[in-house]
Structure 1
Amino acid sequence: MQPDFSKYSKQELKDCLDAIDHQRYPERVAEIQNRLNHFYEKEQERISKTPLHERKKEQKKNRKSSLGFLLLWAGYCIYVLISGHIPSRFGDGVTLEENPILFFLFYGFFLYLLVFLIVLTYEHWFGKERA
């Protein structure tokens, strides 16, 4: 029995493409890829119909959001370092005095995330323009 891929969402098609046996069902793979290409073409058509000034406005809003989140996370990292306490939803959290190794492990992870956010924000602000 052949599945009806025309009723599948884009995410369901992606999941099918990941899970399907490509050698056993090459015709299904081809149909899934055609349907996914159709989704991508419709998305590109929608984007190209959006006026340039609207896309620029959306990009500016996204840039402000990414910068705001970056500054919020940086502020949190500074707060944690100054206070010596990492709050937790469950329990009292981790403090520098009680468990310095765990505190610095968590803090190192926070700094890693901060660097990751800086790189993402930099690429978002100064990366190549995507139409």
Structure 2
Amino acid sequence: MEPDFSKYSIEELEECLISIDRERYPERAAKIEKHLKALSAEETQRIEKIPLEQRKIIDKNSRYGSYLVIVVSLLFFILMLYTGEIPMRHSDNVKIEDDPIMFYFILVIFLFMAVWQALNIYIYRYKRKRE
């Protein structure tokens, strides 16, 4: 019995395409690719139907969210580094003296979040300059 790929989402189709044995099921892989292209085209058309001004507002709000994540992540990073402890909700605070590996691991996570968002903003601006 062959699955009905028309009911699959883009993410599900991408997962199917990654996991399918193309040698055993070449026609099934072709169907998945066909449905994936069709869904991607529909998604692109749906986005293009959104008025340009509204898309600009959405992009601007997304950037503001990224700025907020950067500021909050860096504030927490500096605060935790300065105090030498990380407040935990359901257990004792993680102190640098008690568990340095966990302490630095959590610090790296907060730093990574800030860097990741900064990179997303940079890439977005670079893409806009190229358009």
TM-score band, normalised by shorter chain = 0.7 to 0.9
Confirm whether residue 127 of structure 1 aligns to residue 131 of structure 2.
no
Query: How many angstroms apart in 2 are the aligned matches of 1:104 and 1:4?
Result: 48
Query: How many angstroms apart in 2 are the aligned matches of 1:13 and 1:84?
Result: 46
Equivalent position amino acid for 1:58 in 2? I
What do residues 39-76 of structure 1 show as CA deviations (whole Å, max 9, x unaligned)?
A: 11111111222111111111111110110111010110
Equivalent residue, structure 1, for 2:73: 73
Unaligned runs of 5+ in 2: none
Unaligned runs of 5+ in 1: none
Q: What TM-score do the two structures reach when normalised by structure 1?
A: 0.83
CA, structure 1 residues 85+70, in 2 after alignment: closer, same or farther (shift >3 Å)? same
CA, structure 1 residues 26+76, in 2 after alignment: closer, same or farther (shift >3 Å)? same
Equivalent residue, structure 2, for 1:86: 86
What do residues 76-101 of structure 1 show as CA deviations (whole Å, max 9, x unaligned)?
A: 00110121101234421321333445
Equivalent residue, structure 2, for 1:45: 45
Identity of aligned residues (%): 39
User: Shift in Å at residue 17 of structure 1?
Assistant: 1.1
Equivalent residue, structure 1, for 2:116: 116
Equivalent position amino acid for 1:79 in 2? L
How many residue pairs get matched? 130
CA, structure 1 residues 65+109, in 2 after alignment: closer, same or farther (shift >3 Å)? closer
CA, structure 1 residues 49+106, in 2 after alignment: closer, same or farther (shift >3 Å)? closer
Calculate the aligned-residue CA RMSD, in Å. 2.3
